[in-house]
């Protein structure tokens, strides 16, 4: 009697490696899309915190906090989380884009993705005092 050969042929191993490579590629792209959505969600959450603080601030100051010092301890007393500031530049400005208080009072929180980062293709996030939300120029988040 002849003993049957044991083990795998080279062709069988190459087919298995190709299948594993394809599955890994699909999994990586899904994971990458998930991390982009998660980082966007972190930025949106911080923007909502700013809007809530603005609602409190206007009761005391009769105007919204805008400009480069809007998040400082003397005004809104907020610090953007590191995972947001690493990927986005956050600006608090008037609805028209200025940095001096407007009449009537308005504000918008703008999160601009840093160039070359993962979020760059995601587009700019904007939240206004009216509650309007845009992502990359399109209404809604």
In a 13 Å sphere around the CA of 95, the CA atoms on its Cβ side amount to 13
pLDDT tens by residue, 13-68? 999 999 999 999 999 888 988 999 999 999 999 999 999 999 999 999 999 999 99
What mean pLDDT is predicted for residues 94-112? Answer: 87
Beta-ladder partners of 134: 126, 139
Confidence of residue 3 (pLDDT cuts 50, 70, 90): low
Query: How much is the pLDDT for 76?
Result: 94
Confidence of residue 129 (pLDDT cuts 50, 70, 90): very high
Query: How much is the pLDDT for 1?
Result: 66
- In CATH, the architecture of 10-139 is 2-Layer Sandwich (3.30)
What mean pLDDT is predicted for residues 123-138? Answer: 93
What is the percent of the chain with per-residue pLDDT over 90, rounded to a whole number?
71
For the chain, what is the mean pLDDT? 91
What is the percent of the chain with per-residue pLDDT over 70, rounded to a whole number?
97
Phi, then psi, of 75 in degrees rounded to 5: -120, -90
Q: What are the structural domain ranges in the chain? A: 10-139
């Amino acid at each position: 009697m002849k003993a049957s050969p044991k083990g795998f042929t080279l062709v069988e191993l190459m087919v298995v490696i190709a299948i594993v490579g394809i599955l890994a590629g699909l999994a990586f792209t899904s994971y990458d899309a998930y991390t982009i959505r998660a980082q966007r969600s972190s930025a949106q959450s911080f923007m909502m915190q700013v809007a809530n603080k603005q609602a409190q601030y206007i009761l005391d100051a009769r105007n919204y906090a805008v400009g480069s010092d809007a998040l400082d301890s003397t005004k809104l007393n907020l610090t953007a989380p590191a995972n947001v500031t690493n990927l986005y530049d956050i600006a608090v400005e008037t609805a028209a884009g200025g940095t001096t208080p407007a009449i009537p009072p308005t504000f918008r929180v703008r999160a601009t993705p840093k160039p070359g980062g993962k979020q760059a293709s995601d587009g700019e996030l904007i939240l206004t005092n009216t509650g309007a939300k845009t992502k990359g120029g399109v209404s809604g988040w």
